[in-house]
Chains A and B, each alone.
Chain A
Amino acid sequence: MSNDAAFVEFQHVQKSYDGEILVVKDLNLSMPKGEFLTMLGPSGSGKTTCLMMLAGFETATHGEIMLDGRPINNIPPHKRGIGMVFQNYALFPHMTVAENLSFPLEVRKIGKDEREEKVRRALDMVQMGAFGSRRPAQLSGGQQQRIALARALVFEPELVLMDEPLGALDKQLREHMQFEITRLAHELGITTVYVTHDQTEALTMSDRVAVFDDGRIQQLAPPDLLYEEPENSFVAQFIGENNTLEGVVKSINGDECVVALDDGSEIDAKPVNVHAAGDRTKVSIRPERVEFNKDRLHADAHTLKATVKEFIYMGDVFRFRLSVAGNDDFIIKTRNAPDAIKLSPGQEVEIGWLARDCRALDA
Chain B
Amino acid sequence: MTDATQSGPMLAADGTPLKKSLARSLRRRKLRALALIAPLLLFVLLSFVVPIVSMLFRSVENGIVAQTLPLTVVELQNWDAESGELPDEALYAAFTKDMIAAIEAKEHTKLGTRLNYEQTGMSSMFRKSGRKIKRLDPEADAPFKEKLIEIHDGWGDVDTWRVIKTHAVPITNGYFLNAVDMRRTPEGAQAQPEDKRILIKLFGRTLFMSLIITGSCILLAYPISYLLANLPMRVSNMLMILVLLPFWTSLLVRTSAWKVMLQQQGVINETLVWLGLVADDARLVIINNQFGTIIAMTHILLPFMILPMYSVMQTIPPYYTRAAKSMGATNWTTFWRIYFPQSIPGIGAGSILVFILAIGYYITPEIVGGTKGVFISNRIAYHISSSLNWGLAAALGTILLAVVLLLYWCYDKIVGIDNVKLG
Min CB distance A74 to B, Å, is 15
Asked if B401 CB lies within 8 Å of chain A CBs, one says: no
**Given A77-B326, A78-B331, A107-B328, 5 new contacts (CB under 8 A):** A56-B325, A83-B327, A104-B329, A151-B327, A161-B326
Q: Which residues of A contact B324 (CB under 8 A)?
A: 92, 103
Partner-B contacts on A (CB < 8 A): 55-57, 76-84, 86-88, 90, 92-94, 103-104, 107-108, 151-152, 155, 161
A81 contacts which chain B residues (CB < 8 A)?
Answer: 328
- Least CB distance from A274 to B in Å reads 45
| 23 chain-A/chain-B pairs, Cβ below 8 angstroms | A56-B325, A57-B322, A76-B325, A78-B326, A78-B331, A79-B328, A80-B326, A83-B326, A84-B322, A88-B319, A90-B317, A90-B319, A90-B323, A93-B342, A94-B341, A94-B342, A107-B327, A107-B328, A107-B329, A107-B333, A108-B328, A152-B326, A161-B326
Q: Is B382 an interface residue (CB 8 A)?
A: no
B319 touches A155 (CB 8 A): no
CA distance A195 to B320 in the complex (A): 19
Instruction: Give the Cβ gap from A81 to chain B, nearest Cβ, in Å.
Output: 7
Q: Assess the B326–A84 pair: CB atoms within 8 A.
A: yes
Q: Which residue of A lies closest to B419 (CB)?
A: A94
Residues of B within 8 A of A151 (CB): 327
Q: Does B239 contact A (CB under 8 A)?
A: no
Say yes or no: A55-B342 contact (C-beta < 8 A), given A88-B317, A90-B320. Answer: no
User: How far, in Å, is B235 (CB) from chain A's closest CB?
Assistant: 16
Q: Of A76, A87, A93, A103, which one neighbours B327 at CB under 8 angstroms? A: A103
Question: How far is B342's CA from A211's CA once the two chains are assembled, in angstroms?
Answer: 38
B328–A55 CB distance below 8 A? no
Whether B325 contacts A78 by the Cβ 8 Å rule is yes
- CB within 8 Å of A: which B319-372 residues: 319-320, 322-331, 333-334, 337-338, 341-342
Q: What is the interface size of chain B, counting residues whose CB is below 8 A from a CB of the partner?
A: 19
- Decide if the interface of chain A is mainly helix, strand, loop or mixed: loop
CB distance from B2 to the nearest CB of A (A): 34
Contact between B319 and A78 (Cβ–Cβ < 8 Å)? no
1/0 per residue B257-282: CB within 8 Å of A?
Answer: 00000000000000000000000000
Docked pose: A86 CA to B317 CA in angstroms: 12
CB-defined contacts of A94 to chain B, threshold 8 Å: 341-342
The CA-CA distance from A164 to B328 in the complex, in Å, is 21
Q: Which residues of B contact A56 (CB under 8 A)?
A: 325
Contact of A103 among B317, B329, B330, B331 (CB under 8 A): B329
Q: Which 7 A-B pairs have the closest CB atoms?
A: A104-B327, A90-B323, A84-B326, A77-B325, A90-B319, A107-B329, A78-B325
Q: Are B328 and A78 in contact (CB under 8 A)?
A: yes
Asked if B342 contacts A86 (CB within 8 A), the reply is: no
Instruction: Determine the distance from Cα of A161 to Cα of B326 in the docked complex, in whole angstroms.
Output: 10
Q: Is the beta-carbon distance between B322 and A104 smaller than 8 angstroms?
A: no
Chain A residues with Cβ below 8 Å from B326 are: 55, 77-78, 80, 82-84, 152, 161
- Please pick, from A55, A78, A87, A161, the residue contacting B329 in the complex, using a CB distance under 8 A: A78
For A84, the chain B residues whose CB sits under 8 A away are 322-323, 326-327
CB distance from B325 to the nearest CB of A (A): 4
The distance from the CB of A190 to the nearest CB of chain B, in whole angstroms, is 14
Q: Which of A77, A92, A155 contacts B338 (CB 8 A)?
A: A92
Kindly state the separation between the CA atoms of A79 and B325 in the bound complex, as whole angstroms. Answer: 8
Q: Is the CB of A86 within 8 A of B328?
A: no
In the complex, which residue of chain A has the Cβ closest to the Cβ of B320? A90
Known contacts: A93-B342, A155-B327. The answer to whether A103 contacts B322 by CB under 8 A is no
Q: How many whole Å from B334's CB to the nearest CB in chain A? A: 8
By a CB distance below 8 angstroms, the chain A residues around B327 are 78, 83-84, 103-104, 107, 151, 155
